[in-house]
Amino acid sequence: MSIIAPSILSANFAALADDIKDVERAGADWIHIDVMDGHFVPNLTFGAPVVQAIRPVTKLPFDVHLMIERPEQLIPSFIKAGADRITVHAEACTHLHRVVHMIKEAGLPAGVAFNPATPIAAVENLLDDLDLILIMTVNPGFGGQQFIPQSLPKLRQLRTMLAERGMSHIHIQVDGGINAQTSVLVREAGADVLVAGNAVFLEQDRAAAIASLR
């Protein structure tokens, strides 16, 4: 069964706590938090103080997706604020091994994300250290974009790579343009953690929306 992680980027920021409680009631598994710095991606979102403010609102794990340059500078503050798992972009880390170990040594599961144009080979020698690999199914920076179909062969390639190495316990996460239709395609291609922003938060009936993704 897929893990569903609604992305609060599509929530109503004026009622963020209520929206988080609502998706928890509706059956969400993780809360996906998109951190953007206006440099690595052309948009700006939340910092650690926002994560800290919403931490008491839910018991669900906070899945923090860092779309920022030099993530090693901010990882400690996100952990202190209540992150339960952290994913960094391969493209944003000069020393990816060091950054992944920084997350692991703090006791958190570590993930590595890949933009649509980045080959996944960069992670081949790091598999022992990873809990999750995120295949971006849009170019990161904004919610509500269209799913990129070339992500599907990449997902299959990753699934095969993990199976060949006996590493199929590593989560394969997808993020961007996931809805009731594309969720079927990505699941068939190997994804087991589905992030969805608009497809959950813009729906009146969030329980039905989550069920249709699952």
Ligand X SMILES: O=C(CO)[C@@H](O)[C@H](O)COP(=O)(O)O
Do the beta carbons of residue 36 and residue 69 sit within 8 Å? Answer: no
Distance of CA 99 to the CA centre of its chain: 17
Which of 70, 198, 203, 207 is the binder for ligand X (CB under 6 A)? 198
Residue 32 binds ligand X, judged by CB under 6 A: yes
Considering the complex, state which of residue 79 and residue 135 has its C-beta at the smaller distance from ligand X: 135
Q: How far apart are CA 206 and CA 209, in angstroms?
A: 5
Residue 175 binds Fe ion, judged by CB under 5 A: yes
Do the beta carbons of residue 65 and residue 35 sit within 8 Å? Answer: yes
7 assigned binding-site residue: yes
Q: What track of x and - describes contact with ligand X for positions 48 through 77 (by CB under 6 A)?
A: -----------------x------------
Residue 118 binds ligand X, judged by CB under 6 A: no
Residue 7 beta carbon to Fe ion: minimum distance, rounded to whole angstroms: 5
Do the beta carbons of residue 172 and residue 135 sit within 8 Å? Answer: yes
Give the β-pairing of 193-196 and 171-175: parallel
Residue 154 binds Fe ion, judged by CB under 5 A: no
Catalytic residue at 34?
yes
Number of C-alpha atoms within 13 angstroms, CB side, residue 22? 18
Which of 34, 37, 63, 131 is the binder for ligand X (CB under 6 A)? 34
Footprint on this chain of Fe ion (rule: CB under 5 A): 34, 65, 175
